[in-house]
Chains A and B, each alone.
Chain A
Amino acid sequence: MESLTGWWDDFFWGSLIVVEVFLVSLVLMVLFGLLGSAAKLSNSKILQKIANGYTIIFRGTPEILVLLLFYFGSAITLTAIANIFDPSIKFIDINPFWAGSIAIGLVVGSYATETFRGAFLGVDPGQIEAARALGISNFKTFVYIRIPAMWRLALPPFGNHMLSLIKDTALISVIGLQETMFVAEQATANTGEPFVMYLMVGVIYLSFSTIITLSVMGFEKYGNKHLEVGK
């Protein structure tokens, strides 16, 4: 354990980056999930096809492949675009933070698409009809009736998606994001103690997933409060 001395602050900043990536990709995951499920539930054949393609591709390929494709792909695309304006630019380095957050947001968003679709279908159609009979607009029906009813149904699988997100952040070290895995690598090079360093990373991730699991349990309890009265 004494080999960790002097590395605590690095691990702390690394963990902070993990949290940042998690929050950014969480927002993206919800966004892609809602867009995907809306497309799948829409009447438009084209939108349905696009959403199906999205879920098939991103659920069927390894996360690390999507990540590398995004990172290297966006780097050469941006370089090519920049070259149109200024041919002297040799190479644009894309920020691994954004490439990584977008990539894992897209991957886990494809799983969330299916979760949200199932949850929207699980809302009692009678409630939607009742809203329509009362003359409530489509938008208000969505915000006040569909969303409050569906998030309770989506919560247990959504908790698993959040766990996937936090664990996928470890992959972003592969493209050079300075999060905990990266810190462990540097610390290993300095101290020659890989076992302790990577175990530390494991402990950090285990605490994060414990926090997520406990909060989801809390939310579930809160969301199903109204069901407990009858018991």
Chain B
Amino acid sequence: MNFDFSLIISSIPQLLEGLGLTLQLWFISGILGLLLAIALMLMRISGKWFLYAPAMIYIYIFRGTPILVQLFIIYHGLPQVEFIRESFLWVVLREPFGCGILALTLNTGAYVSEILRGGVNGVPKGLGEAGAALGLSKVQRFIYITTPLAVRLAIPAYSNDVISLMKSTALVSTITLLDMMGIARIIVSETYAPYEIFISLMIIYLVITWGTQKAFALFERRMSRHIIQ
């Protein structure tokens, strides 16, 4: 066994060919997941049992099972069900890419909705009461008072979840997709140099994580610019 430093450098361009797919999975499921999370969070704080009960069950199931299991149920399991093959969903589920997006979206939606709920619950009650005293409607209070403050409170936890979503995209290599992880596994099976290839992939992922953390730190600073220290 000899450690080949040049292989670390030379494999990076090859691995980066999968970066596009990793980023697509990350951004698309990140945005769809956020929309799902907002819907779930609104259902949970609605105070109506027929809205918060389904949301709670959904969150319980998707946070309680591994994302790999969810991915396999969607990729291997759902095509077996007749009415799904005949429905419009088949357009999405026919491709492993669609399955990956769906699994990542459903999973991250459950986690992010809890983060958003934490943010909303963290806003002091007095502010909402002040809004009510000024004659703002419930919707107005939520949009103009609760939301801007809740966003600021939720950013640190949300950034962690965005990073963990990025890490979860590596799992799509198990359903034949060639993201960076998938390409790395092919190169390793060809060269049999796991250390070099996987370490260069680690470096790429670390750079993405670091960049994301920096971006969120800037965003948080901007959102907190009115706070008097």
Contacts and interface: CB of A to CB of B under 8 A. Distances in A.
Nearest to B206: A60
Given A62-B167, A171-B68, A181-B69, A198 B77 contact: yes
B11 interface: no
A112 interface: no
Contact of B64 (A57, A195, A209): A209
A80 interface: yes
Interface in A126-177: 163, 167-171, 173-174
A227 to B, nearest CB: 21
A73 B68 contact: no
A163 B60 CA distance: 12
A108 interface: no
Contact of B170 (A62, A173, A195): A62
Contacts, number: 118
A60 B163 contact: yes
Contacts of B134: none
B78 interface: yes
B210 A205 contact: no
Interface string B205-216: 110011000000
A181 B195 contact: no
Interface residues of A, number: 43
Nearest to B78: A195
B192 A76 contact: yes
A194 B77 contact: yes
A122 interface: no
A195 B77 contact: yes
Interface string B186-229: 00100010110011011001100110000000000000000000
Contacts of B171: 62, 64, 171
Nearest to A80: B1
Interface string A174-199: 10000001001000100011111111
The 9 closest A-B pairs by CB, nearest first: A72-B194, A195-B77, A80-B1, A62-B170, A60-B209, A170-B66, A194-B76, A167-B66, A209-B64
